[in-house]
Amino acid sequence: MERKIIFELKSLYRDSLRVTGFLFGHGEKSACIVGALRGNEVQQLYTCSQLVRTLKRLENDGKICSGKSILVIPSANAYSMNIKKRFWPTDNTDINRMFPGYELGETTQRIAAGIFKEIQDYKNGIQFASFYIPGVFVPHVRIMKTGYENVDMAREFGLPYVVLREPRPYDTTTLNYNWQVWEANAFSVYAGTTDRIDRSGVTLAVNAVLNFLRKEGILENSGFVHEGYISSIVEENALVSVQSNAAGLIDSYAAPGTNVTRGEILSCVLDPYDGSVRSEIVSPADGVIFFAQEEPLVYANAAMYRIIRE
């Protein structure tokens, strides 16, 4: 294992921002895995740390295939993570909306440019991503339909679902999209949570990446990797969204992965002062809870659940 500085940004008032990478093996740039691009992505950071730990052991055991190399970047935004802020502290911009970056641009554009310069030539790119709404997902791999996507390869992770989504205009500045434009096989892995550690989700995500690396001939088959699931393909625009129709405290009954039926009560919105039920949130369809927001308070008309219709 080689620990190296991928990108360094000098600071006038504090220590430099250093984006650290861990390089395993030698030869072809076979796979790059990126963790936390945002300051609240604790689950993504922790997942990368466990992947680094596992790959270090596998490399010592000679399990990385000859002529293959793997780069893991656990975090690109330590400044924000240190103060528990999701976006860049000084101007609230998102590094994952700045790719492929611009070396003479704003701070986050320069960070994105420095990182992308180092990782754009990798054959396969994997990002541990997070959602813009705080909540919990069923672990899955997500790919954008750019014309370069490869659904069969996405199945190699062995996660329960592969989600296909049409890119929106703002997606053209994300890491996943630009990896695909630079002809990499790009995948976003969602490991359940974001700003807290879920060990079961971490284990599933790490094993999924090891599955993929093994099936792509980057890791030798050491016999310890669980094959995972036969992935179901889901179109994102086919997910059923469920919104709250009142504001208040949430008393939730349904967790991600739960099978629900049409008309079933998923949660209740409670009056925060007297505890009375303001509203019952019911499932509009038979299916599986794919995403559930986990904030204790909710606004009226806020997104609460996403359901995979049966």
User: How far is residue 239's CA from residue 241's CA, in Å, rounded to a whole number?
Assistant: 6
* 26 & 125 share domain: yes
> Which CATH number covers residue 8?
3.40.630.10
Mean of pLDDT over the chain: 94
Which of 63-67, 74-78, 143-147 is least confident? 143-147
| Predicted confidence (pLDDT) at residue 94 exceeds the cutoff of 70 | yes
Same domain, 268 and 190: no
CATH code, domain with 247: 2.40.50.100
Q: What is residue 223's predicted lDDT score, i.e. its pLDDT?
A: 58
Domain boundary among 182, 207, 235: 235
Place of tokens 């922790």: 46
- DSSP string over 86-138: SS-TTT---GGGSTT--TTS-HHHHHHHHHHHHHTT-SEEEEE---SSSEEE-
Both 286 and 189 in one domain: the answer is: no
Do residues 305 and 289 lie in contact, with contact meaning Cβ atoms separated by under 8 Å? Answer: yes
43 shares a domain with 172: yes
pLDDT bin (cut points 50, 70, 90) of residue 306 is very high
Domain boundary at 235, 264, 282, which?
235
- Which string of DSSP letters, residue by residue, matches 5-39? EEEEE--SSSPPEEEEEEEEESSEEEEEEEEESST
- Counted domains in the chain: 2
Q: Residue 35: its pLDDT value, please?
A: 97
Q: Examine the domain organization and report whether 146 and 256 are in the same domain.
A: no
Whether 112 and 244 share a structural domain: no
Nearest to 205 by CA among 130, 256, 153, 139: 139
Q: Say yes or no: 190 and 213 in one domain.
A: yes
158 torsion bin: left (phi>0), alpha (psi -120 to 50), beta (else): left
Residues 288 and 171 in one domain: no
Question: What confidence category does residue 191 fall into, taking pLDDT thresholds of 50, 70 and 90?
Answer: confident
For 75-100, what is the mean pLDDT? 94
Higher pLDDT pick, 239 / 294: 239
The string of pLDDT tens digits covering residues 193-246 is 999 999 999 999 999 999 999 999 999 986 555 678 899 999 999 999 999 999
Residues 28 and 50 in one domain: yes
pLDDT in tens, 108-121: 999 999 999 999 99
pLDDT band at 55 (very low <50, low <70, confident <90, very high): very high
Same domain, 130 and 269: no
Average pLDDT over residues 30-55: 97
The verdict on 166 and 293 lying in the same domain is: no
The residue range of the domain holding 249 is 239-309
DSSP H or E run through 280: strand 277-282
Of 180, 214, 235, the position where a domain reaches its end is 235
pLDDT of residue 224: 55
Q: Would you say residue 48 has pLDDT above 70? A: yes
Peptide bond into 160 cis (omega under 30): no
Asked if 6 and 99 sit in the same domain, the reply is yes
- CA proximity to 246, closest of 293, 275, 278: 278
Residue 15 has pLDDT above 90, yes or no: no
The pLDDT tens digits of the residues spanning 167-182 come to 999 899 999 999 999 9
